[in-house]
Amino acid sequence: GGIITQTPKFLIGQEGQKLTLKCQQNFNHDTMYWYRQDSGKGLRLIYYSITENDLQKGDLSEGYDASREKKSSFSLTVTSAQKNEMAVFLCASSIDRVTGNTLYFGEGSRLIVV
């Protein structure tokens, strides 16, 4: 088995600040994802990466940057934190296209903007 580790578990920042969330996986999976979870809105895809140094925009990429410098890690940066984007951010990975979209998730990081 493997695990996805997200750090920090809680990220507190001020409005306008640039904030970064980190994700590590030891599944040796090719594809990694960042989803945003808001109550009543489900999970919405921000960015995903098919392989190292690849980045693909999801439906909610505006206001975010992402980086995949190693196969095992995927980071997400909120470029200018706003109070209306306080949410839980979920990192996930999947092995490859053959298994068809089965994702493994981390426990989430909660963003708090003060």
Residues near other proteins (CB under 8 A) are: 4, 31, 35, 40-45, 48, 50, 56, 58, 90, 92, 94, 96-108
Least Å distance, CB 55 to other proteins, is 13
Least Å distance, CB 76 to other proteins, is 15
- Is the alpha carbon torsion for 101, 112, 20, 17 positive or negative? positive
Nearest to other proteins of 70, 97 (CB atom):
97
Kindly state the tokens that stand for 93: 């990975």
